[in-house]
Structure 1
Amino acid sequence: MDINVNTLRGIYTGLSTAFNARFSSAATFYSTVAMTVPSTTAMNEYPRLDDMPGIREWIGDRLVHDLSASTYQIRNREFEKTIGIKRSQIEDDQIGIFAPVASQIGQDAAEFPDQLVWPLFKQGNALKCYDGQYFFDTDHPGYDEAGAPTSVSNYTAGAAPAWYLVDDTQVMKPMVWQTRKPFKLVSMQNETDANVFYKGKFEWGVDGRCNAGFGLWQLAHMSKAVLNAENYAAARAAMMNIRKRDGTIINIRPTKLLVPPSLEGAARQIINAELVNGGDSNVWAKTAEVVVIPYLG
């Protein structure tokens, strides 16, 4: 194959098509727990939205509730992946293998949020969030029915594999996926490029700027107790009793039961079985959706 502008443009077009097709079709899990927030600077600064009370009757002047002076930041990070194609491989028409490689890079880029969100989520009982407590903790600052300060838990200790309840119906979510620069395939394919001159290699790659961080701890509960009906009920009750600053209920709905592959059977028994104990009605049937997350293994 002759190497010229048209040849190189055709290779780039083919690789881009393969990358984009796989990027748009890859199955991902991160949106189950993370809201996507665009970023236009090196970092985003987030106010503590959980400080907001409920709506009140308008009597007299408006009562202005300032967002907390306490904020937290998520700084964007840079990531890349690059492949090289030898000039001799193009000359010998041996470029067919690189379309699948470009497709794989597209899949890797699409799944990359999972690579950042889930390890952070799993370590939430050992990493602090905006209120100074671990994201999954037993003593978050919260409020009781009268609006008085109290401790609130979104963590159940134990020695069993961890499982999680999540409310994904709110505008906010437990995690944040922050994107500054989406991944895009770019090329160094001019014959005058240094990599071609010195190494005889054309290079294509992707790069992006993004990061993951913690969102609202109230919308997720981590349990390391044995996954059974009793512990499932306790975790649901803990989430659904969390209150706003004025004492009103937040209306949290634990809609997703997230489990690693090892707990899939136990989770489906609790959520999907219509009958239990030899014929009793399962009161927890269909109260949540079981989502098996490989990254939680």
Structure 2
Amino acid sequence: MNINPSTMKSLYDGFNTSFNKGLSSATSHWLKIAMKVSSSHAAENYGWLEDTPGIREWLGDRIIHDLSGAQYRIKNRTFEETVSVPRENIEDDTYGIFGPRLEKLGFDVAQFPDSLVFDLIKDGTVTKCFDGQYFFDTDHVGFDEQGDQVAASNYVAGAGPKWYLFDCSQPLKPMIYQERRPFDFTSKTAPNDDNVFFQNKYIYGTDGRCNAGYGLWQLAYCSGATLNEASYEAARTAMATLRRPSGKPLSIMATHMVVPPALEGVARRLISSTLISGGESNIWANSVELIVTAHVA
């Protein structure tokens, strides 16, 4: 290939097409359990996650529930991935071998939010959320039927692999994916770029600013107990019986289960099989959508 601005533009367009192909072909799960929030600052405050009592009959003046001034901040971080292509490969028309590598670059971008979100889920027993407690904890502030404060738990300890339930049916989600600047595809291919002049390489890469954080702990549950019908039912019940400060139910219902690969078979038998031993109907069949990811292993 004769290297000039026109041919380099064509090469960029081809690599960009490969990047976008990878971007659109990847399978990711984060959107199922995380709400995407656009960020316009170095960090965003989510003190407003504190729950309000809900709809009430309007008798007398309105009761104003101030959005909390508590500080739960998610600080944006910058991430990148960069590859180089030797000049000789372009001159000798062998640059086609790099197309799949640029496609993998886009694939990595599409899957990266999974890494942020699910790695944070795995760390939920030792990382604090908006109420100052660990995201998965045994002593969150909850409420009884009279609206009095009681200890509320969304965590059961155990020696086995941890598994998780989430209610993803509500406007607010259990997790947050915060995006300050989306990942894009860029290049350094000008003749006077240092990488070209000194190293005889053309560089292509992607970068973006984002981070993940915790949403409502009430919508999430973590268990280290043996995954079986009894522990699954107990976890669902614990989520469903959580109440607002007014004493009314939060109307939480688990919609998704997240497990590591080691529990995939057990989870599928529990929630996917229509029949159980003895030919009886499985009452939990299709009660939640299953997500299997090594990020929580």
Q: TM-score by structure 1 length?
A: 0.96
Structure 2 equivalent of residue 215 of structure 1: 215
Letter of the structure 2 residue corresponding to residue 60 of structure 1: G
What secondary structure is seen at the aligned counterpart in 2 of 1:231?
A: helix
Amino acid at match of 2:145: E
| Corresponding position: 1:87 with 2:77 | no
Q: Which amino acid aligns with 1:66?
A: D
Shift of 1:51: 2.5
Contact residue 51 and residue 68 of structure 1 kept, 8 A: no
- Deviation per CA, 1:185-241: give whole Å up to 9, x if none: 011111121221111111111110000111111111000000000000000000001
Deviation at 1:257, TM superposition (A): 1.7
Counterpart in the other structure of 1:191:
191
In 1, Cα distance between the equivalents of 2:147 and 2:246?
5
Question: Are 1:238 and 2:244 an aligned pair?
Answer: no
Distance (Å, rounded) in 2 between the aligned partners of 1:236 and 1:289 = 14
Match of 1:159 in 2: 159
Question: Retained in 2: the 8 A contact 1:240–1:253?
Answer: yes
SS at match of 1:281: coil
Distance 1:21 1:36 in 2: 22
State whether structure 2 residue 140 is matched by structure 1 residue 140. yes
Instruction: Extract unaligned runs of 5+ from structure 1.
Output: none
The answer to whether the 8 A contact 2:34-2:173 is kept is: yes
After superposition, give the CA deviation of every residue in 1:261-292 in whole Å (9 maximum; x if it has no partner).
Answer: 21122112221233334133322222222222
Corresponding residue for 1:2? 2
Moved more, 89-98 or 148-157: 89-98
- Report the AA paired with residue 219 of structure 2: L
Deviates more, 1:167-176 or 1:276-285: 276-285
- Mapped to 2, the partners of 1:71 and 1:142 lie a distance apart of 20
SS in 1 for 2:120: helix
Further displaced range: 64-73 or 43-52: 43-52
Name the SS for the 1:275 alignment partner. Answer: coil
Distance in 1 (CA, whole Å) between partners of 2:293 and 2:64 is: 42
Moved more, 27-36 or 177-186: 27-36
Whole-Å separation in 1 of the counterparts to 2:228 and 2:262? 14
Q: Which residue of 2 aligns with 1:227?
A: 227
2:47 aligned residue: 47
Worse-superposed segment, 192-201 or 164-173 = 192-201
Q: Using the alignment, how far apart are the partners of 1:275 and 1:18 within structure 2?
A: 45
Q: CA deviation at 1:86?
A: 1.6
In the superposition, relative to structure 1, how do residues 66 and 201 fare at CA in structure 2: closer, same or farther (>3 Å)? same
Following superposition of structure 1 onto structure 2, how do residues 27-42 of structure 1 map, counting pairs within 5 Å? 27-42=27-42
Does the CA-based 8 Å contact 2:49-2:130 persist in structure 1? no
Q: Are the counterparts in 1 of residues 29 and 291 from structure 2 also a CA contact under 8 Å?
A: no
* Counterpart Cα distance in 2 of 1:181 and 1:25: 21
Q: 1:94 to 1:275 in 2, by over 3 A?
A: closer
One-letter identity of the residue aligned with 2:101: V
Secondary structure of the 2:210 match is strand
- Across the aligned residues of Structure 1 and Structure 2, the Cα RMSD in angstroms comes to 1.3
Which residue matches 1:257?
Answer: 257
In the alignment, the residues of structure 2 paired with residue 228 and residue 276 of structure 1 have an alpha-carbon distance, to the nearest angstrom, of 12
Asked if 2 retains the 8 angstrom alpha-carbon contact of 1:34 and 1:176, the reply is: yes
2:114 counterpart of 1:114: yes
The Cα of 1:259 is off from its aligned counterpart by: 1.3
- 8 Å Cα contact 1:48-1:71 kept in structure 2: no
2-structure distance, mates of 1:258, 1:281: 23
Deviation at 1:43, TM superposition (A): 1.1
- The answer for the alignment partner of 1:68 in structure 2 is 68
Distance in 1, Cα, partners of 2:115 & 2:291: 17
TM-score with structure 2 setting the length: 0.96
Does the CA-based 8 Å contact 1:176-1:212 persist in structure 2? Answer: yes
Amino acid paired to 2:104: Q
- In the TM superposition, structure 1's runs of 4+ consecutive aligned residues that sit over 4 Å from their partners are none
CA distance in 1, matches of 2:87, 2:283: 66
Give the drift of 1:59.
1.2
Identity of aligned residues (%): 49
1: CA distance between counterparts of 2:263 and 2:51? 35
Per-residue CA deviation, residues 39-82 of structure 1 (Å, 9 max, x unaligned), is 11111111233331110111111111101121311010011111
Distance 1:162 1:141 in 2: 23
CA distance in 2, matches of 1:77, 1:257: 28
